[in-house]
Structure 1
């Protein structure tokens, strides 16, 4: 006769309910962000600038880059808004740092000007874009505390330069990794290279796993973790793993995980393949 299953205490049930409620609040906020009128779901095109003055459909002016300086020549009947002020004629818009950029206004369209992989890009974002208008949420695994895993953060003596690929061909990115995270799952030890997060006090981990290309997006997912205190302990809550923009649109230039972040284990937590990419 088999032993009875351990009883679940009221405290454990309360903790699980609170965990699920927190995740659902976070997920609602995540969907609100994805639904923003000028978010990446609003991107309608991706243009790579060259040294030749060129016009692009739906964007005023001729655009070119000379000695890493960006220029636009707006005709007599053309204008854009920069920092809320109209500009016209020939504009020297400056030099942009890698992974940096700014926005220009053109009616209800926002034109993102940025640099990716050392190349300048224009990405118009229009709230009427069908991808945004038809957005119907993101499928995700049911939140499970099992996927909230403690790990050890090992800070490097010096940040390590890491070359990563991108979701578009011909682009490579150089990231500085401040350290790595070591954790155990199902009796095996795994190590993930971490990068500095977009928000101060956070780390960003790009990864794939055995679910990638099956139930989750093939190219990458991303997990944000808090920088650890003096004890070096970090919490990897894979329930909060999210898709990058390239999971939704081919007009994104997302980085790919470094080789060591391609896990052989299945992480059955976090966001799944977007509906837009699902194959019946």
Structure 2
């Protein structure tokens, strides 16, 4: 085992855990709520919300002022905002009161519907967080692969962690594995503007030592399509920590028959 690779992996995972435990991070979600079609209240946030004709509207409650997220100024007039699918924006801050911590309110669109998600400055889950368990680092799970781009990216409908929400994914091509425990396996991947790949997958560890599915990021392929996929850096999705996450499921076909005993495991209860 290369000591440098092991130390780099430890550093990477330490940063990952610090990010999870940060104020208003994934461990601080307190609600996920759909906006009604006509103005009405939602939990934890004073005022009313509505979504109609592709636009979301928030009207403040003069008796319980909230603050704009960006400028911190009191919101005294209705706010309207139009977002696209899978977009999110932090919209409001609900000041701390008595024993209640400050909240931030995120507005977004998932599955064609407007939602809000609230995050607290601190939560019991965040305070009790002791890290994400992992499989032991194993260089045998750094696998050679080849990226085979599609002639045209494919937009597909996928499920999510929430049974009431379907999402879409733009698949750029297949990652095909050569030697190693996944030899011959073909998994569809998304590709970012920087060329880096993201692969969502299911495997034989799901429901035992890992959640229902996980994902791994990979570097941009070389000109000949070759790349290394380090499954030691496989991540669990936020739904492993919170019921208020959405999280895309793998596209059809992204199932590995082998047990991928690498990367993050299911969080401790």
Question: TM-score normalised by the shorter chain: which range applies?
Answer: over 0.9
Q: Please identify the structure whose Cα radius of gyration is greater.
A: 1
Please point out which of 244, 258, 268 is paired with 2:251: 258
Q: 2:99 maps to which residue?
A: none
Measure the CA separation in 1 of the matches of 2:182 and 2:21.
40
Give the superposition deviation at 1:137: 0.5
Residue 121 of structure 2 is matched in structure 1 by 127
Distance 2:131 2:265 in 1: 11
CA distances 1:3-41 after superposition (whole Å, capped 9, x unpaired): xxxxxxxxxx5xx21111111010100111111111111
8 Å Cα contact 2:66/2:93 also seen in 1: no
Give the whole-Å Cα distance in 1 for the aligned partners of 2:58 and 2:74.
10
RMSD of aligned C-alpha atoms? 1.5
TM-score with structure 2 setting the length: 0.92
Tell me if the contact between 1:149 and 1:183 (Cα under 8 Å) persists in the aligned partners.
yes
Conserved in 1, the CA contact under 8 Å of 2:182 and 2:258? no
Matched, 1:143 2:110: no
C-alpha change, 1:51 and 1:90, in structure 2 (3 Å) is farther
Kindly state the Cα deviation for residue 131 of structure 1 after the two structures are TM-superposed.
Answer: 1.4
Match of 1:106 in 2: 94
How many residues end up aligned between the 2 structures? 260
Find the partner of 1:178 among 164, 172, 175.
172
**What's the offset of the Cα at 1:73?**
1.0
Partner of 2:51: 65
Q: Determine if the alignment matches structure 1 residue 237 to structure 2 residue 230.
A: yes
Partner of 1:81: 68
Structure 2: segments with no counterpart, 5+ residues: 96-101
Separation in structure 2 between the aligned mates of residue 88 and residue 226 of structure 1, nearest angstrom: 43
Is the 2:141–2:230 Cα contact (8 Å) retained in structure 1?
Answer: yes
Matches of 1:130 and 1:159, distance apart in 2: 42
Q: Distance in 2 between matches of 1:55 and 1:20?
A: 50
What residue number does 1:190 align with?
Answer: 185
CA drift at 1:87: 4.4
Match of 1:24 in 2: 10
* 1:200 CA drift (Å): 3.0
The structural deviation recorded for 1:187 is 7.3
Post-superposition offset of 1:94: 1.3
Q: What are the ranges of 5 or more consecutive residues in structure 1 without an aligned counterpart?
A: 1-12
TM-score, normalised by the number of residues in structure 1: 0.89
